[in-house]
Amino acid sequence: MTTYLMNTTIVPCPGMWQVTLVDSDRHRALEQVAEEDIYQAAVAGEQRRLRPEVVSAIGHADTTNLINRLLRDLPGMAGGFEPVITNRMVVKPVVGDRFVCIKLRGRIPEGVLLSEEQIEQIGYEWMRMELLSSQG
């Protein structure tokens, strides 16, 4: 199954979804998703690698820049890490696929691209989504 990194919690297909908040504290939430969902275990002397099943579907560079900046500050990333890339794509999940989402806490005007600073000002939270069953 695939784990998609997303910058939205919009459901891309009909079905039954499980949606959970990772942690109400953004820093702890990022630590959890980095360790449990995104990166392979640390190997001495090597940078942290993305898990093979992880695909970034984050289409905005400022969002990936923010995520990578925040990852740099985590203790488990001190030896370096494979960065999250900007990759605007259409996601077509199948049952069992998971999403790790950075979700804004506010609505932005249509067509507006946010800077890292604006994302921080609006606020965000980390969510997990899993497609449990599909329709059609």
CATH code, domain carrying 52:
3.40.50.11170
Task: Report the C-alpha gap between 32 and 9 in whole angstroms.
Answer: 18
Task: Report the C-alpha gap between 7 and 100 in whole angstroms.
Answer: 9
Q: Choose among 94, 99, 101: nearest CA to 130.
A: 99
pTM of the model: 0.91
Summarised one tens digit per residue, pLDDT across range 62-103 is 999 999 999 999 988 988 999 999 999 999 999 999 999 999
Q: Choose among 59, 128, 136: nearest CA to 98.
A: 128
Q: Check pLDDT > 80 for residue 136.
A: no
Range of the domain at 129: 3-134
Q: How many domains does the chain have?
A: 1
Distance (Å) of CA 55 to CA 85, 88, 105, 114, 131? 9, 11, 23, 22, 16
Structure tokens at 65: 């820049």
